Amino acid sequence: MNQGKMTNQDQRTNHEKMERALDAVQKAPRYTGGEMNTRIKEWEDTPLRFGFCFPDTYEVGMSHLGLKILYGLINRESWSLCERFFMPWTDMIAQMKENGIPLLSMESRHPMREFDVIGFTLQYEMSYTNILAMLDMGRIPLESRERDEADPIIVAGGPCAFNPEPLAPFIDAFMIGDGEDVMTELNRVILERKEKGESRQDCLRKLAQLDGVYVPGLYDVAYHEDGTVKSVTPVCPEARPTVLRRFVTDLDSAYYPEEIPVPYTEVVFDRIMLEIMRGCTRGCRFCQAGMLYRPVRERSMEHLAELAEKLVASTGYEEISLSSLSSGDYSCLPELIRELMRRLKDKRVSISLPSLRLDSVLKESLEETQQVKKTSLTFAPEAGTQRLRDVINKGVTEQDLLEKCRDAFEGGWSSVKLYFMDGLPTETTEDLDGIGDLARKVVAEYFRVPKPQRAKGLRVTVSASTFVPKPFTPFQWDAQDTIPQILEKQAYLKKALNIKGVTFNWHEPYLSYLEACFARGDRRLGAVLRRAYEKGCILDGWSETFDFGKWMEAFRECGLDPAFYANRVRPMDEILPWDHIDSGISKAYLRKEKERSSRAEVTKDCRQGCNGCGLQRYDGICSWAKGKGDAPCA
Amino acid sequence: MRMMAVFEKSERIRHIGHLDIQRSVQRGLRRSGLPVAYSGGFHPHILISFASALATGAAGKREIMDVTLAEPVTPELFLEKMNQAMPPELHLIEAAPMDDKAPAMMSLVRAAEYDLAIDGEEAAAMLTAAIPAALGQTELTAMRKTKTKLEECNIRPLIHALDGAGNHIHAVMTLTERESCKPGMLLEALCRLAGLENPPRMVVTRLRLLGSDETGGFIPLEKMA
Ligand code: SF4
């Protein structure tokens, strides 16, 4: 292979240029590295070099748990090292261009091209242009077919990898599903290639044989005249007709870092994140994560308490938050919190709690020890009426919500955040009025608490985001509202929420519209992505850099209609662009859920009995399917 | 007990601001397992103070902190535990116990010694050449930024030593709560004398903090602990 072509001289020059650039940008600490618990492994002595790329800024990337898991996991192996790359801000990009600096890793400041594998994590669609920008700044050809033997293998994983098609031209191989096991398997194959001098193409074919790995270049996609997918066909025997996602069945034996990098500057989530469980069984029909991370798997209490102690000792963080899609569902949450409090008593660590569903004895002891943080409370009823909540299977009742609010107001809280979505399937003005009613009732609960007993300064924040239909959900066939429809609804809501004590937050729908295109896009959107990037679209998730006009131009110039992706109801028998990816959830189940939804019929939490989502077809994947589950306290 | 420690802020992390350095050292103390003392009150914090805030953008060779511990610890153990718990970029060099009643290190700082690494050989040569002229004047003006305004001031009395060689300028300048001469002010004055319109880029390293003895002479601040 062609490694080490960079001379020491080049390395020094890059370093010096970078030091100069740092003096010319805002927020230089984003680029300097050297944080506690980061590692610079011996470059020459480590055969496999992995560049972990987070396609957004440092502050966002360093808040991401997946980064910390894979960083530790890859560095743990004696034969591999992992260094980080983030998306630079525009001022740094300008400096890099002007001074001819390629994108450099945070740790040893090696250029991207010097790595054997470059891995992107795909957390949200609107980070896609950043991937192109990072490859470009890394001086790596943007598309797979343009790369030669000397280029690193470009891989990607994360929730958006479940519909990999819009990124298919740019990514050599996708990892679908839980990453802990497949990461090492993939690195081994790539190391073997390096050692044996195998060709890029041979290596990709080997990767395609790993469970959970999808190599898009090994598939041909044909389209009908109307633009819908006609077929997706493997072009070689190594490529499977469908790729089943990976599952980590036992979290206790899966890798979890005991040391995590501690940034010098404050990042978005600047604390220990303890992943107490993975997956969620509530079955909200709009929620993609709820489908993709099934089944529910819990870490044992003993393991969590041990991890918490080790992480507190290795990071010095003052706060732990229990992280998962629905931490309140952890089967022995009160016991876990008690155990954490007991073990961390003298460490002055506060525990951020996900939910108020705690017994009163525990609540009291938490307040006594001040180990719990009084942050603002958040509730996500998502929809304004019971009917619509039934449609989306969101198991929140008004009574329940108001009771919790009253509890909170009595307990000294004065600010509450309520999250809603607009544009949900079947939504009418009645549902929008319902959001206003609910906010008004929450305000009334506050005033019902006698004045001396309640905290001052009521703040009810209502946020409404725009519904984006996602693959692998019962709403994957649905249309998103058009932009004018959404704008109209937002204006309506603004009036309905003109209530004293209530603040209304909303976002312009343009980003959600593009998200809807790319979430359910096909391979042809790769061209749009490239065109948009070439027109200067980057950092689209940031309002100061987002340029919707350029995106629309890119669609037009590629001869594609965004409405075809976002606003079209797809027939149930249409071949969806991601049909060759198997999430484990069966299409039959999603169809059934869609039908129940249209009758506003709720589906119960499958911990109370298997709903047959599809996972029950695989042996040893879902312990709940057989009835009992393997929860530590069950 | 109180422990004085000398530490380095490496060039790599020179862009990290003082508050972030403070927080990083506090977290280091928490990681170290040393018996740190906390303040009372509703939001207890680690009892630690720094002799002087180092500017964002500057590295420091011998910065000084003063930590209160709940139990006595030997300086050797303190250094060992802390260096295991700190990133290499914030390395501890020396530690010494302090008298509990000793004044805060902050109040003892009188001056600081700096290294200014000038980017560009030509600019460095012009600036170095201007040093004798600068020292020969009784008045050297530079702009001083206060909280509310930008004002002219005479920095000549605040410069106690100044010389240059190669790309480096070396200076000892007053640093007190009341008045101080910052490296940027010195650069500005030298540029004017040298006829340099745009000040060159420089990397500032604060080499050490200085206090003064009975005779008024400067001595390394750590000697005063
Ligand atoms: S297999 Fe059954 S129990 Fe398991 S996640 Fe699916 S519906 Fe729930």
Whether the per-residue pLDDT at A356 is higher than 50: the answer is no
CA-to-CA distance for B181 and B111, rounded, in angstroms? 9
Residues of B in contact with A36 (CB under 8 A): 24, 27-28, 31, 86-87
How would residue A3 be classed by pLDDT, with cut points 50, 70 and 90?
very low
When mean pLDDT is compared across A16-20, A50-54, A274-278, A363-367, the lowest value belongs to: A363-367
- Beta strand segments in B10-69, E: 48-50, 59-68
CB A252 within 8 A of CB A180: no
pLDDT(A594) > 50: yes
Atom of ligand 1 nearest to the CA of A623: 4
CA of A611 to the centre of ligand 1 (A): 6
pLDDT tier, A372 (very low <50, low <70, confident <90, very high otherwise): low
Say which range, A2-11, A129-138, A266-275, B58-67, has the weakest mean pLDDT. Answer: A2-11
pLDDT for the residue B22 = 96
pLDDT confidence of residue B216: 86
With cut-offs at 50, 70 and 90, classify the pLDDT of residue A6: low
**Which positions ≥6 away from A501 have C-beta within 8 Å?**
A443, A446, A458, A459, A460
CA distance A555 to A561: 6
Q: What is the pLDDT of residue B44?
A: 80
How many CB atoms within 10 Å of residue B151? 9
**Secondary structure class of B202 (helix, strand, coil):** strand
Residues A117, A187 contacting (CB under 8 angstroms) = yes
Residues of B in contact with A317 (CB under 8 A): 27
Confidence of residue A357 (pLDDT cuts 50, 70, 90): very low
CA distances from A110 to A50, A425, B160 (A): 11, 49, 42
Which two tokens mark A617? 């077809």
How sure is the predictor about A362, in pLDDT bands with cuts at 50, 70 and 90?
Answer: low
> Is the pLDDT reported for residue B46 higher than 70?
yes
Rounded to an integer, what is the distance from CA A502 to the centroid of its chain? 29
Question: What is the average pLDDT value for chain A, to the nearest integer?
Answer: 92
At A366 the pLDDT is: 57
Cα separation, A131 vs A530, in Å, equals 10
Mean pLDDT of chain B: 94
Instruction: Give the Cα separation of B26 and B67 in Å (integer).
Output: 10
At residue B40, the pLDDT reads 82
Q: Best of A22, A32, A258 to disrupt the B interface by mutation (most B CBs within 10 Å)?
A: A32
For ligand 1, atom 8: residue with the closest CA: A606
Contact A36 B203 (CB under 8 A): no
CA B13, CA B36: separation in Å to the nearest integer?
25
Q: What is the mean pLDDT of residues A565-592?
A: 97
d(CA A305, CA A162) in angstroms, rounded, equals: 32
Beta carbons within 10 angstroms of residue A292's beta carbon: 26
Q: How many CA atoms lie within 13 A of A378 on its CB side?
A: 11
pLDDT tens for B124-158 read 999 999 999 999 999 999 998 888 888 999 999 99
Q: Write down all domains in chain A, each with its CATH number in brackets.
A: 8-244 (no CATH), 376-516 (3.30.750.200)
Residue A273: what residue type?
A: M
Q: Out of A20, A32, A313, whose CB is closest to B13?
A: A32
Residue type for position A141: P
User: Quick one: pLDDT band at residue A2, thresholds 50, 70, 90?
Assistant: very low
pTM of the model: 0.94
More confident residue, A460 or A346: A460
For residues A329 and A282, is the Cβ–Cβ distance under 8 A?
Answer: yes
Mean pLDDT of A319-325: 87
C-alpha span between A418 and A464 (Å, rounded): 9
Over residues A193-216, the pLDDT tens digits come to 999 999 999 999 999 999 999 999
User: Which of A2-16, A47-61, A272-286, B168-182 shows the lowest mean pLDDT across its residues?
Assistant: A2-16
Angle at which helix A510-519 crosses helix A525-534, to 10 degrees, equals 140
pLDDT 10s digits, A414-438: 888 999 999 999 999 999 999 999 9
pLDDT of residue A331: 84
Q: Which residues lie closer than 8 Å to A313 by C-beta, 6 or more apart? A: B31, B33
Measured from CB, residues less than 6 Å from any atom of ligand 1 are A 281, 294-295, 606, 610-613, 615-616, 622, 624-625
Q: Which of B8, B10, B11, B13 to mutate to test the interface with A (most CBs of A within 10 A)?
A: B13
